[in-house]
Amino acid sequence: METIESDSDDSDSNNSDSDKQPILTLSNYTKEVLIYITSEKEKIGYIKGVLLNGENIFNELESDEILKILEFADSEKESEMKSFYIQVLSKKKLKDNAFYITELFIEKEHRKKGVGRKLFDKLPEFLRKHIIEPIAYIYLMPGPLEKINGEVKYIMNSKDEQMVSLKQRLIKFYKSVGFKRIGKTEFYYKEQAS
């Protein structure tokens, strides 16, 4: 497995004069991808995701090999990916490469300042520049993440009105940056220009 590390000099260079620091820095690139979200001085969040090769997935559908493709060290992530596979991938003949965002976290003090919108403006070009395979789709399942005792955790509780409201705001945001809901599932996608 290949790992690519990229410092700020090697990152996204399409920044305006008023924004010389890159917002995205590739930290790790294998099947799983880790991208840091940065401000001028510090890391302010991250994106964790998974590269999916649709053609390979569908070639393996008839065998137990599909389980290896969807196997992860994190059991919560594995469960989410299997759900995504059952509800989305198995229903549609995806033959293109995709990037599935498993976690997108921005530190609380940097939220509501346009970071998320800027991130999604820059992410397609960043993926084209740093990921070998061309990405046709970005997928995600909106879910609130918060830092609790120094650890980022998914905090959705369907009985907590505040959490349900937060999830609805996330969905509204994702729709505003071009994501569309996939049928009646909880998953969303955004097609990438080639």
Per DSSP, the residues of 131-175 read -SSPP-EEEE----EEEETTEEEE---TT-HHHHHHHHHHHHHHH
Residue 37 has pLDDT above 90, yes or no: yes
pLDDT band at 104, cuts 50/70/90? Answer: very high
pTM of the predicted protein model: 0.76
Domain count, the chain: 1
Q: Which residue has the higher pLDDT, 64 or 47?
A: 47
Note whether residue 21 is domain-resident: yes
Residue 122 lies in a domain: yes
The Cα 78–Cα 73 span in angstroms is: 8
* pLDDT greater than 90 at residue 159: no
> 23: which 2 tokens?
């917002």
Q: Give the list of residues 6+ apart from residue 116 with CB closer than 8 angstroms, or none.
A: 106, 173, 177
Quick check: is 3 in a domain? no
Lowest mean pLDDT among 30-34, 61-65, 92-96, 131-135: 61-65
In a domain, 22, yes or no: yes
Q: What domain range is 17 assigned to? A: 8-191
Averaged pLDDT for residues 94-103: 84
pLDDT at 3 over 60: no
Q: How far apart are CA 100 and CA 50, in angstroms?
A: 5
Assign residue 62 the CATH number of its domain.
3.40.630.30
From 7-16, 26-35, 176-185, the region with the lowest mean pLDDT = 7-16
Per-residue model confidence (pLDDT) at position 149: 84
Q: Which of 77, 176, 164 is closest to 121 using CA atoms? A: 176
